[in-house]
């Protein structure tokens, strides 16, 4: 269960722990208790597959993984504005000839944004060159 506080807007997760003893197990009302834990860990996204070097075609396909379920991925092409990746975990973009960089970051359901977006795992660099022959 996820709770959000009205005052600070902070996100919390209700953690339930089970007890033991006579009558323990599911359905034993007095043996279960919980506590609130603030969710402050930002998610992390990285590339599973991405083009690199010179490629002879304008379409580039990327496969991304995220370590926190329920997170979304945003991308920035050639230092452009951040946009949501709507076809997660795979997307294909079309580019003009030249060098390109795609940067990604994850955003969890609480609004925590990935902090380490300068990691090599968050960048893809490639060049679309129609004159390159694919072998």
Closest Cα to residue 104, out of 84, 126, 87, 86? 84
Rounded to two decimals, the pTM is 0.68
For residue range 60-106, list pLDDT tens digits in order: 999 999 999 899 999 999 999 999 999 989 999 999 999 999 999 99
Query: Residue for token digits 């990285």?
Result: 46
Where are the domains positioned within the chain?
2-38, 45-128
CATH of domain 45-128: 2.60.40.650
DSSP letter, residue 113? B
**Pairwise CA distance, residues 93 & 109, whole Å:** 25
For residue range 21-59, list pLDDT tens digits in order: 454 444 444 444 455 556 678 899 999 999 999 999 999
Contact between 101 and 78 under an 8 Å Cβ cutoff? The reply is yes
């Amino acid at each position: 269960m996820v709770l959000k506080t009205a005052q600070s807007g902070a996100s919390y997760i209700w953690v339930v722990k089970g007890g033991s003893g006579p009558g323990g197990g599911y359905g034993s009302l007095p043996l279960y208790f919980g506590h609130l834990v603030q969710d402050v860990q930002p998610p992390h996204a990285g590339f599973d597959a991405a083009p690199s070097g010179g490629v002879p075609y304008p379409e580039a396909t990327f496969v991304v993984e995220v370590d926190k379920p329920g997170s979304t991925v945003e991308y920035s092409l050639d230092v452009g504005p951040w946009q949501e990746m709507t076809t997660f975990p795979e997307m294909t973009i079309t580019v003009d000839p030249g060098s390109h960089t795609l940067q990604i970051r994850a955003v969890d359901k609480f609004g925590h944004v990935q902090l380490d977006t300068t990691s090599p795992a968050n960048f893809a660099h490639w060049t679309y060159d129609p004159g390159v022959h694919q072998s």
